[in-house]
Amino acid sequence: MIANLVQLAAEEKQNPLVPPGPELLVGTIAFAIVFFFFWKKLLPNINKVLEERRDAIEGGIEKAEAAQTEAQSVLEQYRAQLAEARHEAARLRQEAQEQGAALIAEMRAEGQRQREEIVAAGHAQIEADRKAASSALRQDVGKLATDLAGKLVGESLEDHARQSRVIDRFLDDLEEKAEAGR
């Protein structure tokens, strides 16, 4: 027990933070061996892995930036194509409206022309019918007047030339009086 107390007292004199000399020497040699092993073997492998990782990250960032740039250019192209398509659609709509308006105007003009042709044909037909009716009326009136005059006079008035002149003069006088009365 005393020996233990002496040893404890000897240990108490020694600073607990400073290791004994032989332990310090063995610890320093062990540290140098481990440090040398790390420096020669492990540190280059760690640096190599870190360098590869850094390159991969930088490459990934560059690829991402390139992809983003490409996506941006594709987006701009899409927007340009979309704007062009909208412009083309507006142009086609405008052309269709113009063509529709031109077609409507053309159809109106054609309808107007056809109406005028129909009216002109109607006027011509009316005029032809009026002349035919006038001629037929002259003949009928002349025949009736000649028959009536022949019955009044008591003789036949069959001379056609004289008959036509008398009838024409009579009817012309009637037409002049009718026009003067208007």
What are the C-alpha distances in Å from 11 to residues 2, 4, 21, 90?
14, 10, 14, 101
Percent of the chain with pLDDT over 70: 80
Both structure tokens of 108: 């109106």
Q: Can you give the pLDDT at residue 105?
A: 92
In the predicted model, is pLDDT for residue 63 greater than 90?
no
Give the span between the Cα atoms of 62 and 76, in whole angstroms: 21
Q: What is the pTM of this model?
A: 0.38
Question: Residue 98 pLDDT more than 60?
Answer: yes
What is the C-alpha separation between 64 and 14, in angstroms, rounded? Answer: 63
- In angstroms, the CA 151 to CA 143 distance is 12
Q: Sign (positive/negative) of CA torsion 37, 39, 42, 45?
A: negative
Banded model confidence at residue 18, pLDDT cuts 50, 70, 90: confident
Q: Which two tokens stand for residue 164?
A: 């036509």
Q: Report the C-alpha gap between 96 and 106 in whole angstroms.
A: 15
Return the higher-pLDDT residue of 29 and 163: 29
Task: Render pLDDT for 141-158 as a digit per residue (tens, 0 to 9).
Answer: 777 777 776 676 555 556
64-83, pLDDT tens digit by residue?
888 899 999 999 999 999 99
| Residue that is written with structure tokens 């990782």 in the block | 53
pLDDT attached to residue 39:
87
**DSSP string covering 87-101, please?**
HHHHHHHHHHHHHHH
Least confident of 52-56, 87-91, 121-125, 171-175: 171-175
CA distance linking residue 65 with residue 124, whole number of Å: 87
Question: In sequence order, which residues have a C-beta less than 8 Å from that of residue 154 and are 6 or more positions away?
Answer: none
More confidently predicted of 181 and 113: 113
